[in-house]
């Protein structure tokens, strides 16, 4: 895989300790580089060479928003970085509000908002992180990191434990906080959730356990990801989640390939044909049932049947519109001996 252009080394200077991290321009903490990007573009470029804290959970199979195959496509330049979309823009805006709320609610905490102006990376492990904030608390030794997350009134349900009904960070969020603490040499890690809807509510920060075994697992999975990627291969795609990306990446090029050694393909092709036949039969039967129901109702808008259920019929008006030109890949299976 081609490497991104090296980061300007003038942005990296020596630093002996973690002291005054909020004021540190850039430096090195042990084996960790601290990079100070001049702008968002430099920050995105710095992240390109690493698996970042927000993506590492993908390799553990616990990230609901991204697959290892999608991560590979991003890191190899085949897909645009997902960090630059409307959802993430909203999250960045909410981050400032959450920091203000934290300072109001916890006036004795010393909170330093990072906001993408420090990127921490382990060059050997090719893991990176950008903590949202650093904190010093009078009741705790050392320093910690605070990861800010935002949710809507609707999506906050993903944070509610089904048994306790309490706000509980999802595992992929906990993994991100763990990595941020590891790379910044923090003594503790917290996650603060701000929920937007009819108002704004900041939930009390939740501490994330720093589990060395989990961090070791993360490092092993990241190392394997780069080993596979650097060899020119890619992680196995998830055909349920990666279908759109696969179609985007593999547009037909006119070639004919020999897949006769893949013994699963005849089985899959038979299944496709069977499902297509069943789908046609089902759609046809549904139309017949609809016609029979409307015939029996004779224009009525509703009908009560013997078991108490109610059948309703309503005319749906559909506004006219112009269909924009689109394209898709049509996959068909021809009989043996047919022309290519």
Q: What is the mean pLDDT of each run of 10 residues along the chain (340 residues)?
A: 35 35 52 90 90 97 96 94 74 92 97 86 96 96 96 92 92 97 97 93 96 97 98 96 94 90 94 94 95 93 94 87 75 67
Say what the pLDDT of residue 22 is. Answer: 40
Phi, psi for 167 (deg, rounded to 5)? -65, 125
C-alpha distances in angstroms, 30 versus 33, 52, 157, 164, 198? 8, 19, 40, 41, 46
pLDDT score, position 337: 67
Residue 8, φ and ψ in degrees, nearest 5: -55, 115
User: What six digits make up the tokens of 178?
Assistant: 């763990």
Percent composition of the chain: helix, strand, coil (DSSP 3-state, to 5): 40, 15, 45
pLDDT of residue 10: 34
Exposed/middle/buried for 339, CB within 10 Å: 0-12, 13-18, 19+? exposed
Q: Which residues contact 300 (CB under 8 A, 6 or more apart)?
A: 313
CA trace torsion 101, 155, 198, 114 (10° rounding):
20
The pLDDT of residue 83: 63
Q: 176 with 62: CB under 8 angstroms? A: no
How many Å from the N-terminal Cα to the C-terminal Cα in the chain?
A: 34
Helices (H), the chain: 40-47, 53-59, 68-75, 86-105, 171-184, 212-230, 243-249, 264-297
pTM strictly above 0.85: no
Residue 21 has a pLDDT of 40
CB pairs under 8 A, 24+ apart, for 38-46? 38/11, 40/116, 42/7, 43/116, 43/119, 43/130, 44/81, 44/83, 44/84, 45/4, 45/5, 45/7, 46/7, 46/119, 46/121, 46/128
């Amino acid at each position: 895989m081609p490497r991104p252009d090296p980061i300007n080394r003038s942005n990296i200077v020596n630093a002996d300790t973690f002291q005054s991290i909020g004021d540190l321009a850039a430096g090195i903490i042990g084996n960790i580089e601290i990079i100070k990007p001049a702008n968002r573009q430099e920050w995105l470029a710095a992240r390109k060479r690493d698996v970042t804290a927000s993506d590492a959970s993908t390799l553990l199979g616990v990230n609901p928003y991204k697959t290892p195959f999608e991560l590979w496509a991003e890191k190899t330049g085949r897909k645009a970085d997902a960090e630059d979309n409307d959802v993430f823009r909203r999250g960045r805006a909410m981050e400032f509000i959450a920091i203000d709320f934290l300072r109001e609610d916890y006036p004795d905490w010393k909170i330093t908002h990072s906001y993408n102006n420090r990127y921490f990376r382990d060059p050997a492990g090719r893991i990176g992180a950008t903590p949202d904030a650093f904190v010093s608390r009078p009741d705790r030794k050392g320093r910690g990191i605070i990861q800010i997350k935002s949710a809507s009134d609707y999506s906050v349900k993903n944070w509610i434990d089904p048994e306790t009904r309490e706000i509980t960070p999802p595992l992929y969020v906990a993994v991100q906080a763990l990595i941020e603490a590891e790379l910044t040499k923090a003594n503790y890690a917290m996650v603060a959730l701000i929920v937007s809807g009819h108002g704004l509510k900041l939930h009390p920060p939740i501490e994330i356990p720093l589990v060395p075994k989990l961090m070791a697992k993360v490092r092993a999975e990241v190392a394997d990801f780069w080993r596979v990627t650097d060899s020119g291969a890619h992680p196995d795609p998830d055909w349920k989640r990666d279908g759109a990306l696969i179609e985007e990446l593999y547009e037909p090029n006119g070639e004919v390939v020999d897949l006769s050694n893949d013994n699963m393909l005849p089985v899959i092709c038979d299944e496709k044909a069977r499902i297509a036949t069943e789908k046609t039969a089902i759609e046809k039967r549904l139309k017949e049932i609809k016609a029979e129901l409307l015939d029996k109702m004779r224009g009525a808008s509703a009908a009560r049947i013997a078991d108490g259920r109610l059948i309703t019929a309503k005319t749906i008006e559909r506004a006219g519109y112009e269909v924009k030109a689109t394209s898709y890949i049509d996959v068909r299976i021809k009989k043996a001996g047919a022309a290519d």
